[in-house]
Amino acid sequence: MRIGYQAFLALAVLISIASSSGTTNVVRKGSSTKTTKSQLWRADLQFLLTELPTRHANLYHSISKDEFLRAAAHLNQQIPNLTDNQVIVEFSRLTALVGDGHTGLFFPFDDTIPFHKYPFEQEGGAVWQ
């Protein structure tokens, strides 16, 4: 099952926040603290790890829970060494481990996430985007 629309929006917002700068001022109860981009990406990862099992009917049908969590832990360790684009690709790779065509991260193609969309032409002239 796909990540729900609200969860997708929340993830998209978190990703856009994380990709905005190296550090971000986060205000909590009147105080301002610096949050690094890595901390924001790690919060996004934790959100994903919390939401996927609650939204998927059988998340571990193609991969064991331990394997999935090991892959997530490896990504968590790598986050400080990755660019924003690389983190996004690794998030997509992590969701692909679920092993079905219904689970993944579906990003809007806009300025929030700097990926490009390329049209592909199918035989007969139909264009896939």
User: What is the C-alpha separation between 70 and 61, in angstroms, rounded?
Assistant: 16
Can you give the pTM of this predicted structure? Answer: 0.65
Mean pLDDT over 67-91 rounds to: 95
User: What is the C-alpha separation between 35 and 64, in angstroms, rounded?
Assistant: 33
Asked whether the beta carbons of 122 and 128 are under 8 A apart, the reply is yes
Instruction: Indicate the average pLDDT of the chain.
Output: 76
Each domain of the chain, given as residue ranges in start order, spans 5-128
pLDDT in tens, 91-110: 999 999 999 988 888 766 66
